[in-house]
Amino acid sequence: MTESFRRSGEYPQGDNQQPAYPQQHASSPVNPEWPPPPAYEPVAPVAVEPGTTVWPGSGQGGSGSGGEGHGGGGGFAGYPGAPEPAAASTAVLMAEPVPATEAPAAAPKKRAKGPLALLAAVAIVAAAIGGGTAYGIQELTGKDTTSSSTSTTVVPTAKKGTIAGVAQAVSPSIVEINATSNAGSSTGSGVIITTSGEIITNNHVISGASSIKVQLSNGKSYTAKVVGTDSKKDLALIKLENAPSGLKTATLGNSDGVQVGDDVVAIGSPEGLTGTVTSGIVSALDRDVTVSTDESQSQDQQSQGGSGQWPFEFGGQQFNGDTGSSTTTYKALQTDASLNPGNSGGALIDMNGNIIGINSAMYSAASDSSSSSSSAGSVGLGFAIPINTVKSDLASLRAGGSDS
């Protein structure tokens, strides 16, 4: 019986001594008679994956599998043994959890927010820059709302890139202008640029006029007054009196980005046919066009009942009559879009619906006395003042213009 007992238990090391390896499970309460834990700091915790913290051990499992006893680490259960080499395995932490401020898992969460916060900051800065740019444009073009863009798409998405889409989007911003003087009357076109009723047109359309009537695309008419003129650029700014609310303003584009061959649309009131739409391409850039600055030329046009062409010079030749001795030359966009008397002051538009020029001069074979009636009409030789020239002149026009 004694031998059997010793084989199934532990061999004593002496009389009245406890077994060298007590049968104590790691989860059992600590025996108060056991010696106190060693007086050194516990080994620092090691994080192996988010949410799991472990203590370095001596290579012995906490439950005794593969070890010599049940306590693991070479000591009694619940107390770590002497430090082991760095290659030792790890055992799951059974002591007090690490404070939240020391938890390694918190750092990745904070870092994960970094890119999002950076993107948000960039978005805020971009919005601020965009707002500042829009404000700057507004200050340059007046206190009223003025659409000015280099890449805005005004045309509805379903009709983007189509003539019908451009006409639908821009036609409400194009008006017909009837100027009357003692010599007669003339018809031209204009472009609404502010919600308060500012309209850009050619100087020769309203020069010398005693009264100006403007007809909107909805057929309603209003009187207008001249704000400023610049005969050297053949530009004028007029403004509706008692302008209605809800005016549709045009979007002024960037004529510097125009290229030869670009598709364009022209909208105006040729021969009094309000809202006429034609199309073509940009035929050439930076054409030197010479026009008259003499007010009497406008009166001669009016005396012909508005059917007279505005005379201009191009390539050393004069068209539509004599420009006179007082002239000015400007750089123009050339287009083959059909332009006729009454298109002056109207819009030349890109396929995104942005105004890129103000139509100012056009040649028609009907103006030559030698031409027969069958050859009358546009021959695809028209010119427009680049819209960037117009934008740079707006402040001067609002102040009365260079002719004041």
Q: How many CB atoms lie within 10 A of CB 262?
A: 15
113, two tokens? 């927010």
Identify the residue whose tokens are 């006029």: 209
Which DSSP symbol is given to 129? H
- In the set 255, 344, 378, 396, the catalytic residue is 344
Q: How many CB atoms lie within 10 A of CB 332?
A: 27
286 as an active site residue: the answer is no
Tell me the C-alpha distance between 15 and 214, whole Å.
Answer: 125
234 as an active site residue: the answer is yes
Which DSSP symbol is given to 208? T
70 as an active site residue: the answer is no
Residue burial 81-105, b: 16+ Cβ < 10 Å; e: rest: eeebeeeeeebeeeeeeeeeeebee
- In the set 230, 234, 294, 336, the catalytic residue is 234
Tell me the C-alpha distance between 38 and 30, whole Å.
Answer: 15
Q: Map 4-54 to HEC letters.
A: HHHHHCCCCCCCCCCCCCCCCCCCCCCCCCCCCCCCCCCCCCEEEECCEEE
| Contact status, residue 114 vs residue 82, Cβ threshold 8 Å | no
Tell me the C-alpha distance between 173 and 248, whole Å.
Answer: 5
- In the set 58, 70, 186, 204, the catalytic residue is 204
| Contact status, residue 188 vs residue 175, Cβ threshold 8 Å | no
Q: Report, as residue numbers or ranges, the catalytic residues.
A: 204, 234, 344
